[in-house]
Amino acid sequence: MAQNALETRINNQIRAAEVRVVGAEGENLGVLPIAAALAEAEKAGLDLIEISPNAVPPVAKIMEYGKFQYEQEKKRKEIKLKSHNTETKSVQVKIGTGDNDMNLKAKKAAAWLADGHRVKVDLFLWGRYKYMEFNFLKERLERFLKLIPHEYKMAEPISKSPKGLSTVLERASKAK
């Protein structure tokens, strides 16, 4: 936040010779020399804040600096709320995994899906299990997927992986 305060120039810190000025009520005052823009801001009893320094000419707005900072912070918080970090969680089942363990793992996967995470499901194969028929193994993995009580869609189809068979699940879209 301190870095942003340094980047935003106000009043006499503005270096441009002329600026496009937006008034306190949002009205366009046009392109004015910096001295005239500062005089307008002083007449209104407010600050001249450089909103868009990269524009030609730069855009400055007449408003209270504290209010400007408040609005910027509000925008930052809103953006932070909208962004959601999704992680890929992993669930591993084996051919001999018992029914109770399968149900527990399915509930855990459902909880992760409800939180918006992706879930990678691995059917772990070792030894002679690696050479079993693909359709039989796929059926075992699908049996586990049917136990998941949350709606999901497959982000990646069931395929062979170094560990055995795997797929990636995502939360089903809300709009239907």
pLDDT in tens, 118-149: 999 999 998 888 888 889 999 989 999 999 98
Print the domain residue range for 18: 2-82
Q: What is the tally of structural domains in the chain? A: 2
* CATH number of the domain bearing residue 109: 3.30.110.10
Q: Do 94 and 73 reside in the same domain of the chain?
A: no
Q: What is the mean pLDDT of residues 40-57?
A: 89
> What pTM did the predictor assign?
0.52
Q: Do 77 and 92 reside in the same domain of the chain?
A: no
**DSSP H or E run through 92:** strand 88-94
Give the pLDDT of residue 90: 92
Whether the predicted pLDDT of 176 surpasses 80: no
Give the pLDDT of residue 1: 40
Whether the predicted pLDDT of 106 surpasses 90: yes
Domain boundary among 16, 47, 82: 82
Task: Indicate the DSSP class of residue 10.
Answer: B
Query: What span, in angstroms and rounded, lies between the C-alpha atoms of 149 and 157?
Result: 19
Domain presence at residue 176 = no
Q: Do 77 and 6 reside in the same domain of the chain?
A: yes
